[in-house]
Structures are given as C-alpha cells and as structure tokens.
Chains A and B, each alone.
Chain A
Amino acid sequence: MSVLVHQVMFEQRIFWRSREAAVFIFIFPILLYVLLASVYSDEIDGVPSADLLLAGLFGYGAANTAFAGLAITLVGRREVGILKRLRGTPLPPATYLAAVLLSTLVVFALETVALLLLGALAFGASMPENVLGFAGAVVLGVACFAGMGVGAASLIRSAEGVSAVVNVVVLPMAFLSGSFGGRGEYPAVLQAIADVLPLTYFLEIVDGVYLEGSSLFAEPRALAIVAAWGVAGLAIALRWFGWLPRER
C-alpha cells in the first residue's frame, strides 16, 4: 500500500472520528440547505429556489470544507507539534499535503452527493444538467479553496484564533456571493467586494454546469479568477508555510 493511500485512510479516520469537524464541515451546509429551502419555497431570480439554494450551498460547502476546514486542521496540528513530529519521519511533505487534500476532496464529494440526494428527495431539486462538468466543479472548488486554505494556514498564527478568523471570511463571503439565496441589491461597496470574491465566480460556473448544462469551461473569465485565487493562496503557502509551532 502506498504511503499516500495509507495517509488518506488515516485522514479519513481522523475526520469522521472528530465530531466537531464532521458536524461543522459536513452537516452544517446540509442543515443550512434544509433550513433555507424550507423558508424559500418559490422561485428566486426566476430559478426554482431548491435548485438555486443547492448550487449556493454547494459553493458554500466547498469554501467551508476546503478553505475553513483545511486552515483549522493545519494550524491546529502545527501548533501542537503534530506537523513537526511528522516532518521527522520519512513521509515526504508533499505526500502529506496531497493526502490531506485528497481526503478533503473525498469529504466534499460525499457532501455533494448528500446535498443532491436530499435536494431531490425532500425539495424536488434538479440533478445536474452536465454531470461531468458538475463533478469537475467539485474538484475545481476543492482545489481553489484548498489553495486559499493552506495559504491562510501559513498566515494565521494562533490555534485559538483560526476558527474565528476563517469564519469571519467564509460567512460574509458566502452571503455576498449569493450562496444563501441569490444576490440582492447591495450597496456599491459590498457590490465591489462581491465582484472580486472567488465564490462569486465559482457560483457562476456552478450555475452553468448545474442548471444550464453548460461546459465547465464556458466562462473563461470566471474560471481564471477562481484559479487565480487558488494560485495566490498556494504562492503564499510556498513562501510562508511552516511545520513548526509559531506560538511557542
């Protein structure tokens, strides 16, 4: 068994055994979907609300799982010395990070399946028009937000603060990008912020593959912006990511 598979298995075991992670990362977006889909029963912006919310919560789920989840996990492990200890074994650092990433992808893929099934059974939501494109969006979302998550983990120093910091980023971002029921008429400042957020463009792509059956690559500009955010996070990580505790 390769070391990569070995590590992914352990990451999975740790994730599902951690009730906080499983609830916060896996259950929370599903719960929000159920709540919101029960409140908005009509159409939003001319789209069935169950569909629009599903796309929105899928986007929020990607950011929550890969960005918030990874940052919290990595900072927590770094500050107690788990990363430092692993660095002293033959496990190659790149293999470790790949395993953490793959494990995140597995979690988000399962979450996506859960969202789709729940949406279809309980709220009559549609299945993706472009299934392959939608699967691609799962990978794209995890890649972009994981890049940002590792970047954030490189900048955040404190294990106590990390969860607050990432949520202060993720929740307003999800709100402004329209994850929770479409984009309203925002004041110009908020509009301007929404116009640079990766989730805004990720949702554009998701709406395309999920509702309109367009290709994953139909919106090159949106794709480029999403990729740019991921690459920016990665660049920060390459420069500042560390394996040793920062606070002690």
Chain B
Amino acid sequence: MSATEQTIQPAANIHPIDRLLRADRLPHILCAGCGIGTVIHGYANSIAASGIDENNHVCVSGIGCSGRAAGYVNVDSYHTTHGRALPFALGIAVHKPELNVTVISGDGDLTAIGGNHFIHAARRNVNLNVICINNFNYGMTGGQVGPTTPIGAKGTTAPFGAVERPFNLPYLAKATGAIFVARWTILHVREFHEALVRSMQKPGFCFIEILAPCPTSFGKSNKIGDGLHEVEIYRERCQVQNGAPHLNDFDIDLLDESKPIVVGNFVDVERDAFME
C-alpha cells in the first residue's frame, strides 16, 4: 500500500462538520497560518457538542478578520458594525432568551472601539458567550497596535514598539463581572472546545480569550515568521493554571521568552443573569 493510497481524498470533498459551516464559501479568505479558522472550526464542533438545538444557536461578529467568523457559520449570524457586536448580541439575548448567542470577534473590535460595551455587558451579566480572538493587533487593517499589543511589540503605528501597558483580558472580564473566564490558544483546541461548550450551557456572561497567530500583520512586524512559529511560542511558554485565584499577574508578553503565558479556565461562578 503506498502513501497516496492511504491518504484518501474524499469523493465529495466534504468535511464531517461542514453542515454547520457555509462550506460553499470555503476555502475562506483568511491567510495561510492565520488562527481564526481554527476558532471558527471549534465553534462549529462546540455547537454540535452543546446538546442545544442547532437551530437555536446564533453567531454575532463585529468588523475585522476575526469578524469574518459570522460569515462562515451556518447558523443565524450577523456581521455588525465595528465595535457593536456586543450591543447587537445583547438585543438578541434579551428579546429571544431561548437563543444561544455567541459573539466571535477580535481584540480591537471587542476591547478598543467596543470596550465600553464589553465592560457593561459583563457587569450586567448578559447571557452571552464571548470569544475574543486575540492576535495582538488590528490584523485586517494592516497591523496597527491596539489594547492587547504587548509592550515592546511593533506595529505599523508603533514602529519602535508599543509603550502602553496592554489589557489583561481575563483579569478585566473577571473584574467587570463575567461568570466564566478562560484563556486558551489555538493549540489548546480541546480545552477551548470544552470551555466553549461550558459557556453555551451556562446562563450569563461567559468570556473566552483565545490567542491566535496573525502572521501577515503582527507576525511580520515582530519577526514571527509564520503561524506555526507563533504556535510554537504558545507550546513552549504556555503554563496551565486552571482556577488560579489571582489573575492580575497574567499579562502576556509574547516577546519576552522568560515569561510564561498563563492559560486556563480561571473563573466559573454563579450569578443571576441579566433580566432573570
């Protein structure tokens, strides 16, 4: 038996989870080595594993490469304006509480232009699953620095390196009232999947930060050659601390090799959801 015989090209070229994706739009527009596709894939798998009627899932995105997620999933989905994924999702969650609303958007969309919506949706404990794809920059517009760019990392708007302290998103989410908080990377696909299924089953504001490579914009400015190179950084430096009580030290410094990148399911508590 030769290798080519053992590698089967499926006759219909259909992936088993294609029914939850708009497969006619694949291959998607995202760059080679971009991590966003893994998150979209994980969302589809999580819908299937959630035990919740697939017709009751809704996906809302903002603007950005991460915001393209809503255009590739085969559930009711909305591609809103920049920064407004959360208020739009809040409207759905409040008006139709039977729906399971997941927001998939970028670090810029959710925490820069949409930062105010973020803290208030968490404070109110709106029943949403929020996935922030953190690629440390504004990927779509060519690599400007944003609120999650680590100090020292370069971007088109910071050619000598970012000087502002970035958000530590799990710490922010916990402090503002999220009842489930996790941080994973696209290498931790199984953990991400479990965290997302947990979020779908839990009423209230659940937040998952997922680190994902953006080789085209962030990588290019920061000597991270391709997507695999960044995933290797995750593999070498990630430290799992599930249930860690204090999140204030968990800033990410992607460029300082001596610092661990702490990941895990950090918060899982009960609190009455908005309007309940």
A and B, one complex? no
